Amino acid sequence: MQTQKQFKWIKIAFLWILLIGCMIAIFRFSSQIATDSNTLSTEFTKGFLEKVVPSFDQMDPSQQSSLVKKTNHFIRKAAHFSIYLVLGVLLFCLFSFYQGYLKKRMIYSLLVGLLYAISDEVHQIFVSGRGPQLRDVCIDFSGVLVGITICVLARYLTQKLRKHISIAS
């Protein structure tokens, strides 16, 4: 019994470390001045396109630049969504270790995710060339929502599978 309790606290500590690491990553990305942030995402987008668009290397530089520019915006927003999806998963997993109903854990996870998305945009007021955008809060919150939804669905399917296996045994 003692070992199970210790293992639970190890899992909780590990989730806290992952959650804080995710929040630090978000903060660091938001701390980049606009030109550095754009350079990083543009380079990533160009590398991505070189791998997924077979004819990218044969395009003339203006075509490449145009495609990178069009794709870069989507990649940046997908990055917002993705890192907040991870944040939503981590929040829900962490709150799952504490007592309370599923609905309450979902609400706490959503609320913390929303507050962090808002604080991230407020933080950008103080970063050169950056500023808050309501659209980014919506994208970030959508990521949190999808992350939590994935967790709830996984939990539901796991419970159904366990029930099915116990009935079959």
Query: Which residues lie closer than 8 Å to 124 by C-beta, 6 or more apart?
Result: 30, 130, 131, 132
Residue appearing with tokens 């309501």? 134
* Tens digits of residue pLDDT in 28-37: 999 999 999 9
Could you tell me the residue ranges of all domains in the chain? Answer: 2-168
Mean pLDDT of 39-43: 95
Whose CA is closest to 30, among 126, 120, 135?
120
In one letter, which amino acid is 58? Q
CA distance to 32, 57, 67, per residue, from 36 (Å): 6, 25, 20
Residue 46: strand, helix, or coil? helix
CA distance to 4, 54, 73, per residue, from 77 (Å): 41, 24, 6
Query: Which residues lie closer than 8 Å to 23 by C-beta, 6 or more apart?
Result: 87, 116
Quick one: pLDDT band at residue 1, thresholds 50, 70, 90?
Answer: low
Residue 33 backbone class (left: φ over 0; alpha: ψ -120 to 50; beta: rest) = beta
* Tens digits of residue pLDDT in 86-142: 999 999 999 998 877 889 999 999 999 999 999 999 999 999 999 999 999 999 999
CA distance to 140, 150, 151, 165, 167, per residue, from 161 (Å): 32, 16, 15, 6, 10
| Per-residue pLDDT at 2 exceeds 90 | no
Residue 131 has which token pair? 């500023």
DSSP annotation of 108 reads H
